[in-house]
Amino acid sequence: MPKKNLFPSKNSPLRIGTRSSPLAMAQAKMVAHAIIAAHHLDNDAILLTPMLSQGDIVTDRPIADIGGKAVWSKELERALLHDEIDVAVHSMKDVETPRPSGLAITACLPRDDVRDCIIGVNRIDDLPQGATIGTSSPRRAAQIKHIRPDLITVPIRGNVATRLDKLAKGEAEATFLAAAGLDRLGLNKQNIGVNFGHIDVDVMLPAASQGAIGIESLADNAMVNDLLYAINHPPTYECVMAERALIRALNGNCHSPIAAFAQQKNGEMLLQAELFSEDGTEHIASAIIIAEHEMDMVQEKADILAQRLFDMASPMLRAQYGQ
């Protein structure tokens, strides 16, 4: 089939907005390649438009202190609403649950490895007593304190290279990175320069939407959205939306130590969740099965699971979530 221009009537490419970090650019290229392959396009039918987010600029404070997860997506969403780009590519775990009016998460690529990796040692058990571990994630901090109360957590932020550099400078003895990010950057034990190991999900349940790449667009842009529907991976999209529905039901935000993971098997979805106190001493876990005929009731099922978790929690933990 001959290749073609995307918008011959406009004589312009599809503009893909992305953060300018190496990982974000790699993810945007994955989306571009998927669109090109699905629609048999020339390479010049796609234009990558890198942007700096507030989260990229301010790296010396936790995300929660500079505006929450919106610091990663706000600039891209502004560009979408002002017709500077046609789509925006996100790591879905960094996207706030409420969406600005007029915008929608239209598609997700197939989900990659959802696990966390510990960087600096091969296993959590390899950390010495009282070791310092760097993370600015409330979830990871609470989980590691729950597993190893002796460990000391310190804030550490930045892209993959920055975090590895901080580790090399001794700011912490270990840190965490998402396995999917390492894979997308082609980093492994041979080229990363330090020990690291994958952490099974039964040890550390991931953040909601971890490992998923989402594509955002104007909700009413039918031409662009038709292009994106062709690359959407429905199982990933449905699981991501279920996890986000749970975060909504829990009133979760960037301060919340919440883990959530949905998996589909044999027509059913298993939605798992964990809540932690900030210091990791309290831990609540539960799950719910969503049958195939209930897939249009995901928010209702998420609400049930959230209430189940709150009923199990102490008054102090419920207060952490506005209950």
User: Choosing from 94, 113, 220, 311, which is the catalytic residue?
Assistant: 94
The tokens describing 258, both together, are 């919440």
CB pairs under 8 A, 24+ apart, for 223-226?
223/7, 224/14, 224/86, 224/87, 224/106, 225/106
Sequence-ordered alpha helix ranges (H) in the chain: 22-39, 54-57, 70-81, 138-147, 160-168, 179-184, 222-229, 234-249, 298-312, 315-320
Report the C-alpha gap between 306 and 322 in whole angstroms.
12
What is the distance in angstroms between the CA of the first residue and the CA of the last residue of the chain? 58
Report the C-alpha gap between 151 and 169 in whole angstroms.
19
Residues 6+ apart with CB under 8 A from 157: 59, 60, 61, 62, 63, 136, 163
The reply to whether 56 belongs to the active site is: no
The tokens describing 212, both together, are 């998923």
How many CB atoms are located within 10 Å of the residue 34 CB? 20
Report the C-alpha gap between 148 and 91 in whole angstroms.
28
Annotated catalytic residues are 94
